[in-house]
Structure 1
Amino acid sequence: MAQAASLAQLQAETSCPICLDYLQDPVTTDCGHNFCHSCILQRWEDLQGDFPCPVCLQHCPDRSLRRNTQLCHMVDVVKQLPNTEGEGKQQEEKPLCEKHHQVLSLFCEEDLELLCPQCQVSCDHQDHHLVPMEQAAACHRKRLKGSIEPLKKQLEEADMALDMQVSKSYELLHQIPKVTLLLSSHFWTIGCLTPHTASKS
């Protein structure tokens, strides 16, 4: 199990976040993320001035990229490992942007939508606050957990109140025969009191 997890991690580290295939002619940005040289250049093709990293959105001035020959050798080694094809298929199953056919890796806080890096330069989301999908998921998980805790407490309080009501209902049901007997005895006593006996007393 640990070996499979390590293999999956290696395959993830040697895959391009843009095309999801093994890195070809890998380059590294100033922020430390790796891409195929052709993929990152294609991503920045229509941009001028600002060149955001597709993963973390940090700006890369002047399209500064460093060729990573060590990572290139590492990719060649990983390709020789078993079960790499199956992992590649799993990576291809990641959701893609319907408009640009790129991996959905960003989250728009204003519109609550998943976006691909190409979407961020569109007029619809250009001025919106975008964060990496993993960061947004962690943040919203935390918010959701914070919302769930009070609801759990309210549910527990409601269950306790229901239990008390059920307990009171059972107490009342047990008291019904006693009250019925008491009322019957009381009405029987009243019925035995005739006007004649009442006048004698």
Structure 2
Amino acid sequence: MGGGYVCTLSPEMIQRAKEEINEDPDRRQQDIEHIRDWLKHQPHIKARMDDWTILRFLRGCKFSLERTKEKLDMFYTCKTLCPEWYKNRDPQDKKLRSILELGAFLPLPGYDNKGRKVIIIRTAAHDANTTPMDVVFKATHLIGDVLADEDEQASVTGLVQVLDLQGVTAAHGLQMSPALVKKAMIIWQVRIR
């Protein structure tokens, strides 16, 4: 979705957004403009300024303007401090493509009975002896970002992640150092919904 936001939600999802995340269609554009104006005055944040990106953050924060500002600041700070996951994300890059083709992070078609997008995370899809976790996380975040860009319903209902632990070895466990787990949890918390 480009500059101007065009709602693709069903009438039921629009009602759910009102009830569950405080979205007021009559106030939506004003809230987006408020956040965009705030972003323009934050020289340390190099953010996307399109309506859709801002709206996703507003929805993820239940339309709390202050919480949205905090989350945007933290999200873009994390991207700056974690270039190994966010820079050079060409899906045709040999290493990145090999992870994408493994299906380590699989958004399923459709939604669960609560309207949420379901994602299967195959934690042992990669060879832990040859593939660093930074490459795996770069690939999964790339898919997550595409999903966030393209699935409006998930911006209202959220996601469900199912971890498939089949084939997990000690080598996979050793890749998940406390520092890496902390970094992953912080970044996941600031991601949209």
With the length of structure 2 as denominator, give the TM-score of the two structures: 0.24
The structure whose Rg is larger is 1
RCO higher in structure (CA 8 A, sep ≥6): 2
TM-score, normalised to structure 1's length? 0.23
